[in-house]
Amino acid sequence: MVNDIHKQRNIGISAHIDSGKTTLTERILYYTNKIFAIHEVKGKDGVGATMDSMELERERGITIASAATHCEWNGHRINIIDTPGHVDFTIEVERALRVMDGAVLILCSVGGVQSQSITVDRQMNRYKVPRIAFINKCDRSGADPYRVVDQLRMKLNHNAVLLQIPIGLEAKFHGVVDLVSMRALYFDGPHGEEIRSEDIPDHILKDAEEKREELLEAASMFSDELMEAIFDDTVNEDLICNALRTATLSRKLTPVFVGSAYKNIGVQTVLEGVNKYLPDPTEVVNTALDLDHNEDEVTLQSDPDLPLVALAFKLEVTPYGQITYLRVYQGSMSKGDNLTITRTRKKLKVGRLIRMHAGEMEDITKADAGDIVALFGVECRSGDTFTDGELTCSMSSMFVPEPVISLTVKPVDKKSQNYMSKALNRFTREDPTFRSYVDEESHETIISGMGELHLEVYVERMKREFNAEVVTGIPQVAYREAITKMVSFDYIHKKQTGGSGQFGRVAGFMEPSDNGTYEFVNEVKGGSIPTEYLSSVDKGFQSCFTKGKLIGFPVLGMKITVNDGKAHSVDSSEKAFVAAAIGAFRQAYLKAKPIILEPVMKVNVEGPSEFQGNVMSSINQRRGIITSSTEDGVFTAIEADVPLAEMFGYATSLRSLTQGKAEFTMEFARYAKVPEALAEDLKLQIREKSKGNR
């Protein structure tokens, strides 16, 4: 096992759906001797790819949950997370990128930069992840990696530079020219495991030289040494690699590789690229908040001898215990160590420390800074920070998108009821974008998530993994409420008849928030509300957000300022101030002119240009606004913002409008006000429904 931290890589593999992430990972595992046979996603042998270990993933041929594995290549140890491409499972990409040091962005040589490539790229930017790009599927008809490089530049604003050019394309694609070594590489043997290096064939020598010039010019911007060597004609491979490494780490250049994972062409060179150009853990800045010192930001060092700081970024609840995926940022942890969870200050012992290989666990005894491992059998939440008790610090959390769609689920009998609650308990713990609650009025269980597929997968898993037979309702839009006016409140909660009484007065004002998040401002002077009760006031207000008074949907953030109040020396309590805040909220909320907000989706439709008119009118009919449309003579890509409420059943109508030749993807863009006329209808509908439930 390699122990040198400079030879450690943590990489995420992310991209648009179906671009070949799992297929690429399967090859990587094969070439690094982690697995001894290659199985295809949806392959004829019916086994399925290693990383798609869930039954449902194998059946559908899509990745649903991200999976971690590790391998060794050329003296480097590489931890890999293969993520799903479908937007409904975007949280899986989010948490992988949160903890990875580098990433491989895969693109399809035919589809190019697609809507989800843009989303994934944005996520990589959010966590400042340096990446290399791999243009896959060069064997497909219509493959044009050069066009994809242009799109990387134009659409994603990358300084994308080809490190390779393809030898042949489509059915004739059979190797790559490495522009750094100026050698032609072919991948022989039954699975491309034997690399044959030859002189560049004459017919592409000129192209290769031209592209190498471009590569040298781009790389030399990051190295004076290389620049000089170019003038003196003393360029060597090391100089180029060093310059490219500096450039990639600073995220100012994206090296581009080409190949075909399926046809086993070029995969090893991507692995080589991971080693050469992506950062080791010491080359990435990671910070935590020091709770002992005013939440000051401290930079963590990938040093195993310093106090431990680790982040739980994903968990899986199994019947035998919880698997908690951890990234160790500083220090080290060993089997038998005592750890502290910063949030709860709870202590726990490391029973089993493991390394994950898709669905399998391998026991280990120690993990050092820079590594990605898992704990088995401890209880914690996703996003928790672990320390060895020496530091009290917390790592910043990751971005969690709000659910946009909900569904009622009804168990068919008592037994299923039991199983269903077990399943929901597990899913909601594992996936922060999946929520479930019981509606107080209708007593129905409602699940909500990121899209139809997201909910469908969980309903299916309830049946398969938990034996819970459920009947589902029609998907509903997850509306939100938000106030639009500033209003003041002044409320006294008083119960002073008999026994110990309750007393609390809360005064202040509520106003719309600028950024949609909740903010609680304390401007109480002279202790009119004693400090110890302020958190109860805050808690009381927050408890009102789960169900707004307008249509009963959650309230989006607002700013609440409390500037006055009153307490009673005997009758005031935390409970009394929670109640006072709830009273104050009720007093002011409807006066603050709440409106209904609906999720608006970014919709992307791609298909043959002959159907452009049909597609556009289908979007217009759905209250959509077309934001861009690009056409290359054959294919048209249309981007639009469309309210989710109008998108149910769109797959079916698009199919019939375009003879099944167009595809669409959508993801949440923002909340927007529901037009007045529709809002009235909605209020009526919801009122009718709740009457029916009584």
Ligand X SMILES: Nc1nc2c(ncn2[C@@H]2O[C@H](COP(=O)(O)OP(=O)(O)OP(=O)(O)O)[C@@H](O)[C@H]2O)c(=O)[nH]1
Task: Give me the least distance between CB of 633 and ligand X, in Å please.
Answer: 23
Please tell me the distance from the alpha carbon of residue 28 to that of residue 323, in angstroms, as a whole number: 25
Residue 99: phi, psi to the nearest 5?
A: -110, -5
Residue in the block written with tokens 């059943």: 649
- Does 262 contact ligand X by CB under 6 A? yes
SS3 at position 363: strand
Binding to ligand X by CB under 6 A, coded x per residue (else -) over 572-601, reads: ------------------------------
Shortest distance (Å) from residue 22 CB to Mg ion: 3
Cα R_g (the chain), whole angstroms: 28
Q: Which stretch binds ligand X (CB under 6 A): 15-23, 149-157, 312-320, 669-677?
A: 15-23
Cα distance between residue 310 and residue 369, in whole Å? 8
By beta-carbon proximity to Mg ion, the closer residue of 13 and 555 is 13
**How far is Cα 430 from Cα 479, in angstroms, rounded to an integer?**
24
C-alpha span between 454 and 403 (Å, rounded): 10
Compute the least distance from the CB of residue 62 to ligand X, in Å. Answer: 3
Interatomic CA distance for residues 114 and 222, integer angstroms: 30
Site for ligand X in 319-358 (CB under 6 A): none
Total site size for ligand X, rule CB under 6 A: 25
245 makes contact, choosing from Mg ion, ligand X, none, with CB < 5 to 8 Å by partner type, with none
Instruction: Retrieve residue 398's tokens.
Output: 């990751």
Residue 424 in tokens? 């929901």
Q: What is the dihedral of CA 39, 192, 273, 105, to 10 degrees?
A: -40
Q: What residue has token string 């090893």? A: 268
Q: Residue 32 or 90: which CB sits closer to ligand X?
A: 90
Q: How far is the CB of 360 from ligand X (least distance, A)?
A: 19
The entry of Mg ion, ligand X, none that residue 136 binds, CB within 5 to 8 Å by partner kind? ligand X
Residue 11, beta-bridge partner list? 80, 102
Query: Nearest to ligand X by Cβ — which residue?
Result: 85
User: What is the Cα–Cα distance from 51 to 29, expressed in whole angstroms?
Assistant: 10
Considering only 12, 48, 84, 504, the residue that binds ligand X (CB under 6 A) is 84
Residue 110 partner contact from ligand X, Mg ion, none using kind-dependent CB cut-offs of 5 to 8 Å? none
- Nearest distance from C-beta of residue 143 to ligand X, angstroms: 9
- The phi, psi pair for 95, rounded to 5°, reads -75, -25
CB of 16 to ligand X, least distance (A): 7
We find the least distance from the C-beta atom of residue 106 to Mg ion, in angstroms, to be 10
Site string for ligand X, 20-39 (x = CB under 6 A): xxxx----------------
Please say which residue, 18 or 178, places its beta carbon nearer to ligand X.
Answer: 18
**Residues between 20 and 59 that touch Mg ion (CB under 5 A):** 21-22
**83 makes contact with Mg ion (CB under 5 A):** no
User: CA-to-CA distance for 227 and 161, rounded, in angstroms?
Assistant: 17
Span of 15-23, 206-214, 379-387, 480-488 interacting with Mg ion by CB under 5 A: 15-23
Residues 263-322, interacting with ligand X (CB under 6 A): 263
Q: Do 343 and 381 touch, CB atoms closer than 8 A?
A: yes
For ligand X, the closer of residues 28 and 78 by Cβ is: 28
In angstroms, rounded to a whole number, what is the distance separating the alpha carbons of residues 694 and 691? 5
Which of 13-21, 96-104, 333-341, 407-415 is the region at the interface with ligand X (rule: CB under 6 A)? 13-21
Nearest distance in Å: CB 15, ligand X? 6
**What secondary structure does DSSP assign to 370-391, as a single string?**
T-EEEEES----TT-EEE-SS-
Contacts of 584 (CB under 8 A, 6+ apart): 489, 490, 491, 506, 507, 508, 540, 541
Which residues within the stretch 129-168 sit at the binding site for ligand X (CB under 6 A)? Answer: 136-137, 139-140
Closest among 627, 640, 641 to 670, alpha carbons compared: 641
Q: Which does 7 bind (CB under 5 to 8 A by kind): ligand X, Mg ion, none?
A: none
Backbone angles phi, psi at 577, to 5 degrees: -75, -30
C-alpha closest to that of 534 among 552, 561, 500, 571: 561
Residue 198 CB-density burial (10 A; 0-12 exposed, 13-18 middle, 19+ buried): exposed
Q: Which is nearer to ligand X, 40 or 379 (CB)?
A: 40
Cα separation, 245 vs 228, whole angstroms:
18
Helix boundaries (H) for 438-500: 452-466
Distance of CA 416 to the CA centre of its chain: 31
643 binds, among Mg ion, ligand X, none (CB under 5 to 8 A by kind): none
Instruction: Identify which of residues 64 and 674 has a Cβ nearer to Mg ion in the complex.
Output: 64
Instruction: Supply the minimum distance, in Å, between the C-beta of residue 89 and ligand X.
Output: 8
Where does this chain touch Mg ion (CB under 5 A) — which range of 62-70, 353-361, 466-474, 596-604? 62-70
Residue 14 contacts ligand X per CB under 6 A: no
C-beta of residue 667 within 8 angstroms of C-beta of residue 602: yes
Contacting range for ligand X; rule: CB under 6 A; set: 17-25, 290-298, 463-471, 484-492 = 17-25
Residues numbered 50-79 forming contacts with ligand X, rule: CB under 6 A: 61-63
Shortest gap between Cβ of 433 and ligand X (angstroms)?
Answer: 17
Tokens 């190949």 -> residue = 259
Task: Please give the structure tokens belonging to residue 673.
Answer: 């006000």
Beta-bridge partners for 253:
none
Shortest separation between residue 258's beta carbon and ligand X, angstroms: 10
Smallest gap from Cβ 57 to ligand X, in A, equals 8
> How far apart are the C-alpha atoms of 597 and 513, rounded to whole Å?
14
106/124 Cα distance (integer angstroms): 13
646 counts as binding ligand X under rule CB under 6 A: no
* Nearest approach, Cβ of residue 672 and ligand X (Å): 29
- For residues 512 and 497, the answer to whether their CB atoms sit within 8 Å is no
Taking CB under 6 A as the rule, does residue 260 contact ligand X? yes
C-alpha 494/C-alpha 516 separation (Å) is 33
Q: How far is the CB of 639 from Mg ion (least distance, A)?
A: 24
480 binds, among Mg ion, ligand X, none (CB under 5 to 8 A by kind): none
Bridge-based pairing of strands 102-108 and 8-15 is: parallel
With CA atoms as reference, report the closest residue to 176 among 197, 191, 194: 197
Nearer to ligand X, 40 or 452 (CB): 40
Residues 107 to 136 in contact with ligand X, rule: CB under 6 A: 136
One residue of 8, 10, 19, 63 binding Mg ion per CB under 5 A: 63
CB of 322 to ligand X, least distance (A): 25
Q: According to CB under 6 A, which one of 34, 39, 80, 85 is a site residue for ligand X?
A: 85
Q: Which is nearer to ligand X, 105 or 160 (CB)?
A: 105
CA distance 530 to 110: 65
**Of 173 and 427, CB closest to ligand X:** 173
Which stretches of the chain bind Mg ion, using CB under 5 A? 21-22, 63
Which stretches of the chain bind ligand X, using CB under 6 A? 15, 17-23, 40-42, 61-63, 84-86, 136-137, 139-140, 260-263
